[in-house]
Amino acid sequence: MTTSVGRGQILAFRVRTQQLDRDAGTLDDTAILDLGVQDTGPDGALWALALRGVAVSDVPPDALVTAWTVRGAPHVYRRAELAGIAAAVHPFSDDDAGRRIYDAAKPLRAAGIGNLEALDAVAAAMRSVVTRPMVKSELSTRLTALMDPPYLRYCRPCDATHLYEMPFRLAALRAGLELQPGTSPPVLQPMPGLVPAQDVPARLDVVRGYLRLLGPATPQQVSGYLDAPVRDVRSRWPDDAVEVVVDGEPRWALADDVDALTGTGRVRTTRLLGPFDLYLQGRDRSLLVADPAHAKALWPSLGRPGAVLVDGEVAGTWRPRATGSRLRVQVDLWRPATARLRGDVEEQAARLAAHRGVQLTAVEVTG
């Protein structure tokens, strides 16, 4: 008999499996580092780790590494596991590589160049150029002089011809390049000796990782997260994935997670999630935020706010307003601002200010 799982159970499961309800943890036992922690914006990867109890100020400088990986976005990983990560985020097939590089695939195909072949060619050129830390713009200029026309496009905003963006990003790790953390514009630097693992450790497998941290899910949802074809995701579907029913529709969870999914215990926690926190990255947004107006406010086309997470529910949005060493936090709640909730939000805003190393001057709550 197929197990049925309700929305509240799923949200509670995700809070717990992503460790948003814990007070202390280490890099080694932080689950989201297995899948990668997106590092976009000032409240990116380190804030996501801090929310899961990691004392980021105590993390050794070389313990983490930042690379362009899933969807071409910068993600943070444990440096010691980078060989396995490099294998895990490698495109599953040539068709998959074509999907991940978007419009760059068309001129390559017309020139008879395979998508994986193209990524390898860009990576080889990058490897030959980046022998020291190098700003992205300098690397781009030098690559443009090295690569053939099918690799290049005219960019109207830049009024210049340069490499397509996604092959540039996805080839960087293949070239053994990491991103210097906190640099804008990005600075790339070589990682001598990086060789992708022959086999992907199960814990680092990206399909399993999605099911473990954002499950239960469908192949289509995993496909959307990875920008990979559904057929490639299906071909790598875990043997221990079991079907569960969510709102009358089939989804899948890892067998070891079913008991945790069907638990009835509630989570009690308030967090100010960064705009790209993994909790907000599931491809079932309507399950997380059912109201279309609220969803539009949380996921606008440009300028995403953070999310106020209250007991597993997204209860509103927040935005930081920084002026020098002073910080105001503007909070828009979608529920009545009770004394308890207001106090919890103020506590978390103070935590954010301490994380940033600035002075919290105001928490402005509406709702």
Interior CA angle at 321 toward 282 and 341, to 5°?
Answer: 60
pLDDT tens, residue by residue, 41-54: 999 999 999 999 99
Written as six digits, the tokens of 357 are 């190393």
One-letter amino acid identity for 47?
W
Alpha carbon distance 163, 12 (integer Å):
43
Identify whether 190 is part of a domain: no
- pLDDT reported for residue 2: 84
- pLDDT reported for residue 160: 83
- 91 or 264, which is more confident? 91
- At 64, is the pLDDT very low, low, confident or very high (cuts 50, 70, 90)? very high
Identify whether 77 is part of a domain: no
* SS3 category, 263: coil
pLDDT tens, residue by residue, 95-104: 999 999 999 9
- pTM, whole model, 2 decimals? 0.96
pLDDT for 365 beyond 80 = yes
Alpha carbon distance 125, 122 (integer Å):
5
* Domain endpoint, select from 140, 175, 210: 175
User: Which region among 161-165, 277-281, 328-332 has the lowest average model confidence (pLDDT)?
Assistant: 161-165
- pLDDT reported for residue 267: 85
* Domain endpoint, select from 111, 145, 175: 175
Q: Write the DSSP symbol of residue 265.
A: P
String of b and e for 304-321 (b: at least 16 CB within 10 Å)? bbbbbbbbbbbbbbbebe
Per-residue 3-state assignment (H helix, E strand, C coil) for 10-59: HHHHHHHHCCCCCCCECCCCCCHHHHCEECCCCCCHHHHHHHCCECHHHC
* SS3 category, 309: strand
Identify whether 321 is part of a domain: yes
Interior CA angle at 178 toward 173 and 181, to 5°?
Answer: 145
Alpha carbon distance 347, 310 (integer Å):
13
Q: Write the DSSP symbol of residue 217.
A: B
- Give the number of domains in the chain: 2
71 with 169: CB under 8 angstroms? no
pLDDT tens, residue by residue, 179-198: 999 899 999 999 998 999 99
331 with 316: CB under 8 angstroms? yes
* SS3 category, 100: helix
For range 217-238, the mean pLDDT? 98
- pLDDT reported for residue 122: 98
Identify whether 221 is part of a domain: no
Share of the chain above pLDDT 70, in %: 99
Identify whether 241 is part of a domain: no
CA distances from 46 to 27, 235, 310, 356 (A): 11, 34, 21, 10
For range 139-155, the mean pLDDT? 95
Share of the chain above pLDDT 90, in %: 94
Query: What CATH number does residue 309 fall under?
Result: 3.40.630
- At 157, is the pLDDT very low, low, confident or very high (cuts 50, 70, 90)? confident
User: Which region among 155-169, 173-187, 247-261 has the lowest average model confidence (pLDDT)?
Assistant: 155-169
pLDDT tens, residue by residue, 281-303: 999 999 999 999 999 999 999 99
- At 367, is the pLDDT very low, low, confident or very high (cuts 50, 70, 90)? confident
- State the maximum Cα–Cα separation within the chain, in Å, rounded to a whole number: 64
Alpha carbon distance 246, 360 (integer Å):
42
- pLDDT reported for residue 59: 95
Q: Are strands 160-163 and 64-68 parallel, antiparallel or unpaired?
A: unpaired
* SS3 category, 269: coil
* Domain endpoint, select from 154, 175, 196: 175
Residue (of 89, 96, 91, 92) closest to 65 by Cα position: 89
Identify whether 346 is part of a domain: yes
Identify whether 243 is part of a domain: no
* SS3 category, 128: helix
Range of the domain at 113: 102-175
- H helix runs in the chain, sequence order: 7-17, 32-35, 45-51, 82-88, 94-100, 105-110, 115-129, 136-146, 165-174, 206-214, 219-226, 230-235, 258-261, 285-288, 292-298, 339-356
Identify whether 280 is part of a domain: yes
- At 271, is the pLDDT very low, low, confident or very high (cuts 50, 70, 90)? very high
Alpha carbon distance 295, 301 (integer Å):
11
Written as six digits, the tokens of 340 are 């308890």
pLDDT for 265 beyond 80 = no
- pLDDT reported for residue 264: 67
105 with 154: CB under 8 angstroms? no
For range 98-127, the mean pLDDT? 98
**Beta-carbon neighbour count of residue 76 at 10 Å?**
23
pLDDT tens, residue by residue, 194-208: 999 999 999 999 999
pLDDT tens, residue by residue, 303-320: 999 999 999 999 999 999
